[in-house]
Amino acid sequence: MSGTSVLTKDNVKKKDTTTNFQESDINVLIDSASRVIAPLWPLSTFAARNPWMGLEKQSFEEVAGWLKDTRGIDIYPSASMILSAKRKGEIDQDFVKMGLERWLDSHSFNVPREKAEQFCHAALKLEALPSNLLSSSELEKLADEFRGLNLDSIDNPSIQPISSRIENQDGEKLVNILDHHVIKWSKLYLDESQAGWTMPKREEGFYRAWQRLIQYDPALSKKQRKSLKDWPQEPHMALEKALSELNIPESEIQNYLEGHLLSLPGWAGMMLWRSQQSSHEHALLTEYLAVRISMELVLVKPNLPLTKQQSEKKVSIPSLIASWFQWGNLSIEEWKQLSSAEQNEYLSFAYSFDDKLRRKIWLEAWEQTHADQLSQKLTTKKRKTDSEKSNLAQLAFCIDVRSEPFRRQLEKEGPFETIGIAGFFGLQIATNELGSNHSHPSLPVILKPKHKIKETADEKEFNSYLERKQAVTSLGTTFKAMKQNTLASLLLPELSGPWLTLQMVGRSFVPRSANRFIRNLRQSWLQKPNTNLSLNHEHNKEMEIPIGFTEEEKVNYAHQALKMMGLIENFAPLVVICGHGSQSINNPYAAALECGACGGAAGGFNARVLATLCNLPEVREKLSFEGIEIPRDTVFVAAEHKTTVDELHWIYVPELSEAAQKAFDRIEAVMPKVSDNANKERLAQLPSFQSKVKNPTFEAHRFAEDWSEIRPEWGLARNAAFIIGQRELTEDFDLEGRAFLHNYDWQQDRSGELLGNIIAGPGTVTQWINLQYYASTVASHYYGSGNKATQTVTSGLGVMQGNASDLLSGLPLQSVMESDSEAYHSPLRLLIVIQAPSEYIEKLLNNNPAFLDKVQNGWVRLASVDTDGVWINW
């Protein structure tokens, strides 16, 4: 892309194209080019990923223009989406008019303002030009006069893979064939599902394995195989050789690599992720590009050298003229009467007020409408509630948008105070469940774990638990072993068929009971023993990270979390730390419904760790030195908010004091009603046949346990705002489950450090979640993952569409669309609202250049509510 290249060109020493350059040079180029893709991690730990994370130094508008020009990808909402939002009253027309005025005022043109306004207003109806007008011969005649007109100084045309300019005999573009090859090699190499026969030579790395195998690949012709037989052993040499044979000038190499990375951004992103995971694969992206471009060379070789073909922006003159007829109300006669200079002006006006710009104005109006509605809620004068009211319990929930409706219902039912905080509670830990070798980094993907916390149990109980667990898994391994044995696989359907049939019939006709039965059977067989957590520090050299915390770390983590929650005084007798988790079956995107702050897993483990820390007498003692006095009869417990069924499941309840017990009983007593109300509100949004659900909680369980359910819940769809402030600001309003809520009291944050931390951590997580939903909605085929029904899980890593495709990175259609034609998610960029005086916001922006970039370049929106309750847009 022209923009990033401009940014990085300084890094690259100018050299003659013919001289071979060093390995480090090509690595620098690859490193720079890799900004256009984002690392992609396995689907089992699906955590939100901002596909444009490397591009935030440019404005949203520039990136949109660049994507449209180079890849034909449109990242503004489609006209139909906009019109449907307008029908639903989500867009206030006045904001569209204001946006238009602003644009007209800021641009100079030589068309009468009145004419221009009329044209723009009509064009903003977003209706297509009638096809009979476009195809009329008269129009063509008129357009002929402008042949060769150049409306735009053509900016650096970006370089597309050469293979995209050539077709084979069947009319198939060579780049498609190249993609097919690259998909095949990538999936075979990256496979983590343990195929029966793994790719030979895989241990030697991607490039080496490919280089050894390609000479035998029957998918290539004999001649092609031969030409690759003596291909270099080293990936960077192969890459250089291929690039030079393709005649790519050095100055355009980065562009060229970017073009290739964007062809299959998912596979390339997975290579990038893997390269960051372990040292022996550190050059994986280079290897990937070496394989890809070497294969390109082989495919296009017969067609070389290509005639230089400058890709020019094609401007359709007829449609520009037609737009004046249609929207500008010009008649042909009037048009003919214009001087040719005037005609030129008209055309260039129509050209600059293009479709992208029109939809940009709409998107901004949509966002402003949303901000306006939110500001009206947040700035109405609250009835002054007694801030010192005594609460029975304080419950801390994740900032996740799904917490808001649940918190609201809970607060309604009793004297409960709820708090919002990122659901990993600031604990930088990897979790290790009982009997599992796999440890999960339970924190936002932008951070690295610093401690490992293991679940432990009494040794005797643990061993017999392991035996029972192993007995269960042995069924699965036996199934797999038989499947991968040619002869045994022939008997497998007859052996397992009756059991599978029983399961299929049960799950089809009594989904709830069948799933419950299977789950209960499993649980009562396993009988997981009571567990403890390895909180105490242990370290030896073999371990990458230590187990547990030192005494000091324990206090620090507890202190930090309490400060983040704003919970440093007025403790209620019961403090509930709530993680959240989801429940769905047969859903490859299950992890997308889990806690994003916990790396795509349920957050109960972290909640338990924090609650345990806060109950430790030594921690409490040290906290009191820091001025945080936790009363003796205050008890911390941990729970998990099950978002699919809106229930609270207790995870860790130590012995309770009398007051705490009272609070606990009260929560238990109101919970059925809270669940019912929360589920009722939520189910109304999920597509269903019933207009009214009689028993919401019952029905919610059906969603959670039905193997055929394609939308077990809406997840974080419709998210639009991140409100950082006190609960009093938002308390009385129905925020429709669209807002992330983080507690923040600027009066306790004189240095602004806390706010900086919130923006850097939870702020980034919410922005990524928001942009992931945005991207998956506006360009489902590229940034989303398409229809769930036609996906296939590949390599145990992710999904492909149909027979094979890019490794698709985003959310499926069913996570953002109500139906094939109706969007559910509103693609709005995240609105961050901070409750603090303006100086705080200024300081935040000054101290945090990355955040300033995001705001200025339109990747997030920023507003604040100051001490007088006045709303300020930044």
Partner 1 sequence: MSVLVSLSTSSLLILFFTLLIASGISGLLFLHPRVPLRYVRIHIGILALPLLVSLLGLFNTSANENVGPWYLDSLAWLMVFFVLAIGLIIQRFSVRYLMGDRSYRKYFTLFTFTTGIASILWLSGDMRLLVIAWGVTFAGLYVLIKLNSGWKVASEAAKVSGRLFTISWLSLVFAMIWLSQATGYWQLSLALANDSLAQLGAWDRTGINLLIVLAVIIPAAQWPFQRWLMESAVVPTPVSAFMHAGLVNAGGIMLTRFSPLFTGEIASIVLLVIASISVLIGSGISLVQVDYKRQLIGSTMGQMGFMLIQCALGAYIAAIIHLILHGLFKATLFLQAGSAVRRYELSPRVTNRSSQLWIMAGRALALFTGVTYWIMAPLEGYQLISALILVWSLSVAWTQLVAFSQGIIGKIVGLSFLGGAAVVYFMMHSLFYEWLSTTVYQSVQPPISVVIVVVCLLLVGIAVGAWVSRNRSSSAYAVLYLWLVRFGEAKPKSVESHPNYLNNIYLKGGNQ
Query: Of residues 446-505, which lie at the interface with partner 1 (CB under 8 A)?
Result: 463-464, 466-468, 470-471, 473-475, 477-478, 481-501, 503-505
List, in order, residues 6 or more apart from 378 with CB less than 8 Å away.
723, 729, 730, 733, 833, 865, 871
CB of 446 to partner 1, least distance (A): 21
834: three-class secondary structure by DSSP: strand
The token pair that represents 378 in the structure block = 């947040």
Q: Which of 642, 611, 660 is nearest to 393 (CA)?
A: 660
Helix, strand and coil content of the chain, in percent to the nearest 5, comes to 50, 10, 35
Q: What is the C-alpha separation between 208 and 288, in angstroms, rounded? A: 11
- 802 torsion bin: left (phi>0), alpha (psi -120 to 50), beta (else): left
Under DSSP, the state recorded for 536 is B
Q: How far is CA 250 from the centre of its chain?
A: 34
132 CB burial (10 A radius; 0-12, 13-18, 19+):
exposed
Could you say which residues in the range 337-366 bind partner 1, by CB under 8 A? 355
Sketch the per residue contact string, 205 through 224, with partner 1: x for CB under 8 A, - otherwise: -------xx--xxxx-----
Structure tokens at 665: 């009983």
Least CB distance to partner 1 at residue 486 (A): 5
Distance CA(175)–CA(806), nearest Å, equals 13
Residue 649 annotated as binding? no
Q: How far is the CB of 493 from partner 1 (least distance, A)?
A: 4
d(CA 497, CA 495): 6
Which CB sits closer to partner 1, 307 or 473?
473
Site for partner 1 in 421-450 (CB under 8 A): 436-438, 440
Q: Toward partner 1, which CB reaches closer, 108 or 486?
A: 486
Considering the complex, what minimum distance in angstroms separates the CB of residue 775 from partner 1?
13
Least distance in angstroms from the C-beta of 331 to partner 1 = 21
Within 684-763, where are the H helices? Answer: 696-705, 727-730, 753-758
Residue 191 binds partner 1, judged by CB under 8 A: yes
> In the range 616-675, which residues lie near partner 1 by CB under 8 A?
none
Q: Which is nearer to partner 1, 380 or 477 (CB)?
A: 477
Q: How far is the CB of 741 from partner 1 (least distance, A)?
A: 30
What type of residue sits at position 316? S
The interface with partner 1 within residues 26-65 (CB under 8 A) comprises 43-45
Q: Applying CB under 8 A, which part among 2-10, 135-143, 169-177, 677-685 lies near partner 1? A: 169-177
Using CB under 8 A as the binding rule, the residues of this chain from 826 to 865 that contact partner 1 are: none
Q: Does 689 bind partner 1 (CB under 8 A)?
A: yes
Sole binder of partner 1 in the list 707, 733, 871, 874 (CB under 8 A): 707
Using rule CB under 8 A, residue 170 touches partner 1: yes
Stretch near partner 1 under the rule CB under 8 A, chosen from 641-649, 652-660, 706-714, 758-766 = 706-714
Q: How far apart are CA 45 and CA 601, in angstroms?
A: 7
Q: Of 1, 55, 96, 179, which one interacts with partner 1 (CB under 8 A)?
A: 179
CB of 803 to partner 1, least distance (A): 4
CB of 438 to partner 1, least distance (A): 6
The smaller minimum CB distance to partner 1, of residues 11 and 790, is found at: 790
Distance CA 252, CA 158 (A): 9
Shortest Å, Cβ 484 to partner 1: 6
Give me the least distance between CB of 490 and partner 1, in Å please. 5
Nearest residue (CB) to partner 1, 145 versus 822: 822
What's the rounded Cα separation, in Å, for the pair 824 and 772?
Answer: 14
Of 504 and 521, which has the nearer Cβ to partner 1?
504
DSSP annotation string for 626-683? TT----TT-EEEEEEEETTTTEEEEEE--PPPHHHHHHHHHHHHHHHHHHHHHHHHHH
**Cβ proximity of 124 and 361 under 8 Å:** yes
- Check whether 260 is labelled as a binding-site residue: no
x/- track of binding to partner 1 for residues 786-825 (CB under 8 A): xxxxx-xxxxx---xxxxxxx-x----xx--xxxxx----
- Taken in order 617, 622, 625, 626, the sign of the CA dihedral is negative
Residues 61 and 819 sit within 8 Å (Cβ to Cβ): no
Q: Is the peptide bond before 305 cis (omega within 30 degrees of 0)?
A: yes
Establish if 303 lies at the interface with partner 1 (CB under 8 A): no
Q: Which of 183, 268, 321, 619 binds partner 1 (CB under 8 A)?
A: 183
Sole window of 529-537, 660-668, 715-723, 784-792 interacting with partner 1 (rule: CB under 8 A): 784-792
| Amino acid found at 464 | S
| Distance between CA atoms of residues 301 and 178, nearest Å | 13
Supply the minimum distance, in Å, between the C-beta of residue 845 and partner 1. 35
Q: Which is nearer to partner 1, 282 or 313 (CB)?
A: 313
Closest approach of Cβ 209 to partner 1, in Å?
10
Q: Which of 247, 240, 194, 613 is nearest to 426 (CA)?
A: 613
Cα of first residue to Cα of last residue in the chain, in angstroms, is 29
Q: Is residue 172 involved in binding partner 1 (CB under 8 A)?
A: yes
Residue 170 is assigned to a ligand binding site: no
Binders of partner 1 among residues 252 to 291 (CB under 8 A) are 263-264
Three-class secondary structure of residue 687 per DSSP = coil
Query: Closest CB to partner 1 among 391 and 814?
Result: 814
Q: Which of 258, 367, 647, 706 binds partner 1 (CB under 8 A)?
A: 706
Does residue number 180 form part of the binding site for partner 1 (CB under 8 A)?
Answer: yes
Which residue from 108, 748, 736, 643 is spatially nearest to 423, judged by alpha carbons? Answer: 643
CA distance to 494, 523, 702, 733, 793, per residue, from 500 (Å): 10, 20, 21, 49, 20
595 is in an annotated binding site: yes
Tell the smallest beta-carbon distance from residue 679 to partner 1 (Å).
17
Q: Which is nearer to partner 1, 507 or 861 (CB)?
A: 507
- Comparing CB distances to partner 1, the nearer of 50 and 326 is 326
**Residues 516 to 545 in contact with partner 1, rule: CB under 8 A:** none
- Burial class of residue 429 (count of CB atoms within 10 Å of its CB; 0-12, 13-18, 19+): buried
Applying CB under 8 A, the span of 180-188, 247-255, 441-449, 765-773 interacting with partner 1 comes to 180-188
DSSP-derived 3-state class of residue 576? strand
Please state, in angstroms and rounded to a whole number, the distance separating the CA atoms of residues 238 and 289. 9
> Taking CB under 8 A as the rule, which mask of x and - marks residues 584-623 in contact with partner 1?
-xxxx-xx--------------------------------
The rounded distance, in Å, linking the Cα atoms of 70 and 65 is 9
Total residues contacting partner 1 (rule CB under 8 A)?
Answer: 131
CA atoms within 13 A on the CB side of 423: 30
Query: In the range 68-107, which residues lie near partner 1 by CB under 8 A?
Result: 74, 78-83
Helix (H, G, I), strand (E, B) or coil at 801: strand
Please select the residue that binds partner 1; options are 98, 199, 526, 693, rule is CB under 8 A.
199
**Separation between Cα atoms, residue 44 and residue 797, nearest integer Å:** 7
Among 12, 126, 457, 568, binds partner 1 (CB under 8 A): 126
CB of 736 to partner 1, least distance (A): 21
| Binding site as annotated, residues for Zn(2+) | 398, 400, 580, 595
| Binding site as annotated, residues | 398, 400, 580, 595
